[in-house]
Amino acid sequence: MTTSTTGTDDAGPGVREELARLRDSIDNIDAAVVHMLAERFKATQQVGLLKARHQLPPADPAREARQIARLRALAEDAKLDPAFAEKFLNFIVAEVIRHHERIAEEAVNGPAVPAEAGTAPGDRPRGE
């Protein structure tokens, strides 16, 4: 497939208008996806706090397996590639588990101390 490096300049006004309409729709969907992910992560943060409070493990492989099966079925119904949907969920779940591990660590050791200005995390002043 050859792509033009001139953008939409070569297209007629009708094509440019249709392209703009479609891109506006894509932009709206992207915004909705970001907001939905933000809401999802707010909920999973609460789950992480609850798990930490009750010393539950950050990951729940049985739930994750059920969610993958559920999402694959939803993807098939929506005519979306189920393998893509599974990869997407796995990416999200990995991030959620990372957050839950951090929350559990902070429940045991207290919040991480921010690095000093101009110091990279993990750097220590010389002589210590």
Q: pTM (2 decimals)?
A: 0.71
- For residue 9, name the pLDDT band (cuts at 50, 70, 90): confident
Read off the pLDDT of residues 87-96 as tens digits, 9 standing for 90 and up. Answer: 999 999 999 9
Residue 104 scores a pLDDT above 90: yes
**DSSP characters over the chain:** ----TTTTTTS-HHHHHHHHHHHHHHHHHHHHHHHHHHHHHHHHHHHHHHHHHTT--S--HHHHHHHHHHHHHHHHHTT--HHHHHHHHHHHHHHHHHHHHHHHHHHHH-SPPPPPTT--TT---TT-
Residue 117 scores a pLDDT above 90: no
- Give the pLDDT of residue 124: 41
- For residue 10, name the pLDDT band (cuts at 50, 70, 90): confident
Read off the pLDDT of residues 70-88 as tens digits, 9 standing for 90 and up. Answer: 999 999 999 999 999 999 9
- Give the pLDDT of residue 116: 59
Residue 123 scores a pLDDT above 60: no
- Higher model confidence: residue 86 or residue 123? 86
